[in-house]
């Protein structure tokens, strides 16, 4: 299935566009469009990952989460030991 596309116009510094064109000539991208799209995808993915990192960092101070995590660790301690022994071939 082909993704829907929308034509847009970007204003870029001349030196940046020259570097993109050089990358295309060197075969690092099929076209200006594909280069820019890939760069935008990478940047957006990095921003989304940073947002997730902030959320996970907040969990370190969430009393309810920490209590639940401790309880789950205790409940699965036996299974964890058994899984380790199986992985090490000691059972």
pLDDT of residue 44: 98
Q: Rounded distance, CA 85 to CA 36, Å?
A: 49
| pLDDT score of 36 | 96
With a pLDDT cut of 90, the percent of the chain lying above it is 71
Residue 32 contacts residue 21 (beta carbons within 8 Å): yes
For the chain, the domains span: 16-55, 61-91
Does 91 have pLDDT greater than 80? Answer: no
Q: Please give the DSSP secondary-structure letter assigned to residue 3.
A: P
pLDDT, tens digit, for every residue of 36-72? 999 999 999 999 999 999 999 999 999 999 999 999 9
Q: How far apart are CA 80 and CA 88, in angstroms?
A: 12
Query: Would you say 19 and 29 are in contact if contact means Cβ atoms under 8 Å apart?
Result: no
Q: What is the pLDDT of residue 83?
A: 82
pTM of the predicted structure, to 2 decimals: 0.64
Q: State the CB neighbour count (10 A cutoff) for residue 52.
A: 10
């Amino acid at each position: 299935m082909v993704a829907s596309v929308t034509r847009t116009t970007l204003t870029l510094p001349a030196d940046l566009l020259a570097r993109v064109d050089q990358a295309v000539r060197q075969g690092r991208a099929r076209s200006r469009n594909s280069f820019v799209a890939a760069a935008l995808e990478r940047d957006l993915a990095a921003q989304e990952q940073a947002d997730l990192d902030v959320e996970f960092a907040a969990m370190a101070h969430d009393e309810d989460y920490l209590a639940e995590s401790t309880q789950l660790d205790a409940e699965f301690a036996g299974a964890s030991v058994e899984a380790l022994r199986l992985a090490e071939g000691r059972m």
